[in-house]
Structure 1
Amino acid sequence: MNAVNQHADRLRAYVAALAIAFYRSFAFPTAETLRRWALAAVVVNAGITVTGAAVRLSGSGLGCPTWPRCTPDSFVPAHNDAHGPVNMSIEFGNRLLTFLVLAVAVACVIAALRMGHRNGGERRPVLVRLALLQPAGVVVQAMWGGLVVRTLLNPVTVSVHFLFSIGMIAAAYALFARSAEGDEPARRLVHRDIRTLGFAMVAAVLTLVVAGMVVTGTGPHSGDQAASRFGFDIETVVRLHSDLAYIVVGTTFALLFALHVSDAPGRARRAALGLLLVELAQGVIGYVQYFLAVPALLVGVHVLGSTLVWIAALRVVYLMRTRDPIAPATAERPRVRQAVA
């Protein structure tokens, strides 16, 4: 019995510590706590991107056939002859995840607004602007989601919906990276041409993602029988997507080679290697799903892979430059007192 009580006491202490840390992340935010909220924003935006694909892959794209209500008469799933309860629950569940993304977005804004310079107490506008992109993006995504429903999952609106998610991930990662840095101009850690190659790699990855959206809008798994499709030849768009994948892998390999021969910082080299490995795994999944007639589960894994490739590509370019961190206030105060004395 004593052991049970001790375990309960440790659990209560752990929960209390979490609650205090959660409160301090708002009341007394630091660069580290803002960085954690930004990382949470990256995770939840990536997560809702994958769950959104799961909605389509399960045939639940119109599980809630209206917007903002789930049915014409209810905000929550209700009996509907055209859609089963499972499909309605899946689509409604994905809509509810929007509130989690919004909560994290608001947390980023609060932390950025309350966090000032360590030694000056001034608000950092760049962090506030990057943080504000999160709730603004959620609102845009929600409104666009209504358009997706009202256009009966038109592949153009569905593709743009996914592209917005990619943009929100990029904004969240920018906040994650900048929260640990100061506001001085960025300094390159690699040769200028290597940095340019990194930007070209990111552009190639983004082009590959767009091509993947065209493949998705042309092939099966439309999300609902009422959904329309692009009128492209599926073999042609798949071949184009594969060719772009080879370009991305080749560009990444060239970047990795350049980083190694130029003795670039280890973090940048490891990030490029990680990106290459994720791309190769993504390629394997792509070929397997193609030869297995595009099963829904593997398509979902492929969407997750594309999201991870995008995040890994962003990580590489951010690690090829740096800014000096904000000097801690405790490091400045002793010098001020000494000067006065």
Structure 2
Amino acid sequence: MNRPSTGLHIPTSLRIFAWLSFIAETTIIATGGAVRLTGSGLGCPTWPTCTPGSLVPTEELSYHSLIEFGNRLMTGVVGIIALVVVLLVWRLRRERRDLWVLSLVVIGGIVAQAIVGGITVWTGLNPFIVGFHYVSSLVLVCITAAFLARLDAVPGPRELAVPRWYAILTHVTTLVMAVSIAFGVLTTGAGPHSGDSEAGRNGFEAEILEHIHAWPGYLLLALTVVLAVVAGIRKLPTLKWTLVLLAAELVQVGVGLYQARNGLPVLAVGIHMVLAALTAAALTLVVLHLKRPVAQGAAESERAEAVSAA
């Protein structure tokens, strides 16, 4: 499929680092999950140093320290890549204000994430702070995915490219996903994977939350099926990404059922965490394809009128 012309050359280097940024944001969710699922959340008991007297793990610390320190190093990698993206967008900031704003949001979000990470350690892995830390990472995955989608978008005014009711239903689907993720975070905060044997839990009943978390998950799947079927019948621009979203949700449901019925194995829980972020990113792209440039819409209308008159 040919890329739409934006009238402005996007450097290959920017495309590469935009993809690296998305991959890095996804990877840090995996490494953060590894910290929690291996009980390494307090492997480095202080922040920003690993111990009161050392920036890096010392010999007397365990492998938990290496896992936690590795995740902290990953934050640096994510930040450097995001900074490179900002520098590469600098020359395009007037013509592509959308890319400029998104790049700044990502770099600002990473700084905020580092601070939240410190608060997480200082509070002894408070489950609500840990949950907020995860959701923030998930949002950054969605923003970097949006940046990739906007690279080849035509800047300027946009209009709906789908029926209004379809757009509303898509936003309702987004709300349902947010509810599902929120209850997933609460479920994890009540479960056995606290990040450290001394860390507290949120006080909710994990088994009850597992069922409550599943309800919006199944509703999300049903709504996505509707979106995909309608997009296929009416040949809407959202078709590709609704199919990607549907595939991700089916895998996510399968992983969720497996982990719930097998005692929450750490690998399955980690995959579930990463898949949630990728699923949210797919839905972000569905939302972005609800609109098209006004000029493109006018051109399509003219072609339709010409065909009708022929």
- Bigger radius of gyration: 1
**Any gaps of 5 or more consecutive residues in structure 2?**
1-8, 296-310
Using the TM superposition, give the Cα deviation of residue 324 of structure 1 relative to its aligned residue in structure 2, in angstroms.
7.3
TM-superposition CA deviations, 1:80-105 (whole Å, max 9, x none): 4xxx4211100000100011101111
Is 1:310 the equivalent of 2:280? yes
Q: How does 1:279-318 map to 2 (within 5 A)?
A: 279-318=249-288
Secondary structure of the residue aligned to 1:187 is strand
CA spacing shift, 1:323–1:33, aligned 2, 3 Å: farther
- Correspondence for 2:207: 235
Q: Give the counterpart of 1:101 among 45, 55, 78.
A: 78
**Any gaps of 5 or more consecutive residues in structure 1?**
1-28, 117-121, 326-341
Paired AA for residue 76 in structure 2: F
CA spacing shift, 1:319–1:128, aligned 2, 3 Å: same
Q: Distance in 2 between matches of 1:191 and 1:31?
A: 35
- Correspondence for 2:244: 274
Q: Distance in 1 between matches of 2:98 and 2:250?
A: 35
Q: How does 1:242-257 map to 2 (within 5 A)?
A: 242-257=214-229
Secondary structure of the residue aligned to 2:85 is helix
Q: Distance in 2 between matches of 1:31 and 1:188?
A: 29
Paired AA for residue 312 in structure 1: A
Query: TM-score, with normalisation over the residues of structure 1?
Result: 0.80
Q: Distance in 2 between matches of 1:176 and 1:314?
A: 11
Identity of aligned residues (%): 34
Q: Distance in 1 between matches of 2:154 and 2:117?
A: 36
Task: Flag as ranges the 4+ runs of structure 1 deviating above 6 A.
Answer: none
Q: Distance in 2 between matches of 1:77 and 1:65?
A: 10
Question: How many aligned positions are there?
Answer: 289
Is 1:66 the equivalent of 2:43? no
Q: Distance in 1 between matches of 2:252 and 2:240?
A: 18
CA spacing shift, 1:124–1:308, aligned 2, 3 Å: closer
TM-superposition CA deviations, 1:308-329 (whole Å, max 9, x none): 211111122222322379xxxx
Is 1:154 the equivalent of 2:131? no
Using the TM superposition, give the Cα deviation of residue 36 of structure 1 relative to its aligned residue in structure 2, in angstroms.
3.5
- Correspondence for 1:129: 101
Q: Distance in 2 between matches of 1:238 and 1:255?
A: 26
Q: Distance in 2 between matches of 1:138 and 1:110?
A: 16
Q: Is the 8 A contact 1:32 1:180 kept in 2?
A: no
Q: Distance in 1 between matches of 2:294 and 2:77?
A: 33
TM-superposition CA deviations, 1:185-236 (whole Å, max 9, x none): 1232221111221122122112211111101000011110111101111121
Secondary structure of the residue aligned to 2:56 is coil
- Correspondence for 2:233: 261
